[in-house]
Amino acid sequence: EGKRPWEVKADIALPCATQNELNEEDGQQRKGHADCLHKQVHCCPEKAYALEKAEEKRRIAQWREGAADIRNQEDEKNHGMDTVFAMGVGAQKADIDDKNSYYNSIVSTIIRIGRAEEFIIALSELIQRLTVDHLHIVGDIYDRGPGPHVIMDKLIAHHSVDIQWGNHDVLWMGAAAGQRGCIANVIRICARYGNLDILEEGYGINLLPLATCGTAPR
């Protein structure tokens, strides 16, 4: 009297009447047979709450046990990796210290032998070359100031360059090719803008005959 059927041990329990509905406490008593009870939920959906809650707690407990085992395995693995990493960091630090000493020795030697300025220039040119992959020059190069021949020498030495020639550049090309009209025009422009030193110093052309060509012989 006053007892519920869920206390009775059985392989399969079938809730089939309102007075025999399962609650959470009953589900705990029957948790050893939770799988069998769970199979009967489909025929009595209104009685599923207590069964599912008991099954959920059982599965959560199993999951926690499995997660704890996995976590312990990962901790052991990570501990081994930390040891390897610490050894690698120590070796890298020693390598870095050796490299720093090596580089400092090179710089000190360059300064000691008095080649620091040349070294800085060479290093700057290297950085510039690596930074500027290709030069595209838009003319005019000539008749825009002193030293166009110096600029041309620099451009020729560059590893990758192309030039969009301007009309003044083409004029100088014509003069170099011997076209008399171009020669006269080049001399005229240089004389007008005070750049005759380009012809004399840059290209070694003697302009003295120009100064005497209009003088009458005595």
pLDDT tens digits, 137-167: 988 899 888 889 999 998 888 888 999 999 9
Q: At what angle do helices 116-131 and 48-112 cross, to 10 degrees?
A: 140
Q: Which residues pair with 56 in a beta bridge?
A: none
Tokens in use for 63?
């999951």
In angstroms, rounded to a whole number, what is the distance separating the alpha carbons of residues 169 and 177? 12
Q: Where are the beta strands (DSSP E) in the chain?
A: 135-138, 161-164
Q: Which of the residue ranges 17-26, 71-80, 90-99, 167-176 would you say has the lowest mean pLDDT?
A: 17-26
Q: What pTM value is reported for the model?
A: 0.42
CB 20: neighbour CB atoms within 10 A?
Answer: 14
Indicate if the pLDDT at residue 97 is higher than 70. yes
| Nearest alpha-carbon partner for 21 in 1, 83, 41 | 41
Find the mean pLDDT for residues 73-79.
65
Task: Please write the tens of the pLDDT for every residue from 111-136.
Answer: 888 889 999 999 998 888 888 888 89
Identify the pLDDT of residue 69: 67
Query: How far lies 17's CA from each of 5, 25, 41, 46, 127, in Å?
Result: 11, 18, 14, 11, 89
Query: How far lies 71's CA from each of 61, 74, 157, in Å?
Result: 15, 5, 65
